[in-house]
Amino acid sequence: KKSFEDKASTANTEAYTYYLKAKYKFDNFSNKADIKIAQGLASKSLSLDNSLLESKLLLGKTYFHLYNSKKAKEILYNLIEEAENINNYKIISNSLAELGHHYIMGRDFQKGTDCFKRSLDNANTINDKGCIAICLSQLAWTNVYAGIESHDKAIEVFEMIIILFKELEDDRALVGTNLDLGYCYLALKGQVDKSLKYFKYANDIAKAHQHKNIGLVLGDLGLGIYYTFIGNYKLGDRYLKQSIEN
């Protein structure tokens, strides 16, 4: 299958410009105020063209980040229905993935798993590698915690996900996935040397690309966890403090 190319669902250039501004603000937010600005820009985009599904998806994300899950779910479930009517598998899969994250974070593993499985099915239809990788990652963690799959199976999945994110040149996602592998080898397998390799990969990627927000936070956090785990509390404390500062 040919990899799916992300195309906007509108011909309204002004609406799409507001969407791009909203997406940039959201992707690079530093505080709650930034998220509210992104929310306003997404709303402005929809006021110009209410058929721009990408803006609706982004708007739903902002409500989750502002802890209004009721509004976020209302937007996303309506969006899924709208996208299904026109077979927009990209929007369907990404909306379901957002809902899956919400349910998993709320410890509703059954609903979360169902959302991610549906998301994965839709992502596979268009070979959306980014969404496929995200779904596989979340399902792997959920299955480990639920005792459905072995730790070795989870590690195998994460190693496959890294290959996908490298193909996509998604450096931010590579930070998170290397941390996943580092944690697996450290906490689940007890292979400290191997875990350090992945924690260092994550930190190096974050710094090389000057990631703000979650990238550097996670990069330093991973090393902080590692050094604390092996008893080097001084170094572990230094990295943990850096993660807080970032």
Q: Pick left, alpha or beta for residue 113 (phi over 0 → left; psi -120 to 50 → alpha; otherwise beta).
A: alpha
The per-residue pLDDT for 63 is 97
> Residue 210's pLDDT is what?
63
pLDDT at 72: 97
- Which is it for the CA torsion 78, 80, 84, 90, positive or negative? positive
> What per-residue confidence (pLDDT) applies to 10?
56
Distance CA 175, CA 162 (A): 10
The mean pLDDT value of the chain amounts to: 86
What is the spatial distance between Cα 215 and Cα 226, in angstroms, rounded to a whole number?
A: 17
Q: Quick one: tokens of 162? A: 């890294």
Other C-beta atoms lying within 10 Å of the C-beta of residue 99: 25
Reading phi first (left if > 0) and then psi (alpha if -120 to 50, else beta), residue 103 is in alpha
How far lies 182's CA from each of 78, 113, 166, 200, 222, in Å? 38, 23, 17, 9, 8
**Mean pLDDT, each 10-residue run in order, the chain (246 residues):** 47 92 92 96 97 97 96 98 96 97 89 95 94 90 71 86 90 86 85 87 79 55 79 82 68
Please report the beta strands in 82-227, taking only residues with DSSP state E, as ranges in sequence order: none
pLDDT of residue 53: 97
Closest CA to 140 of 128, 125, 127, 151: 151
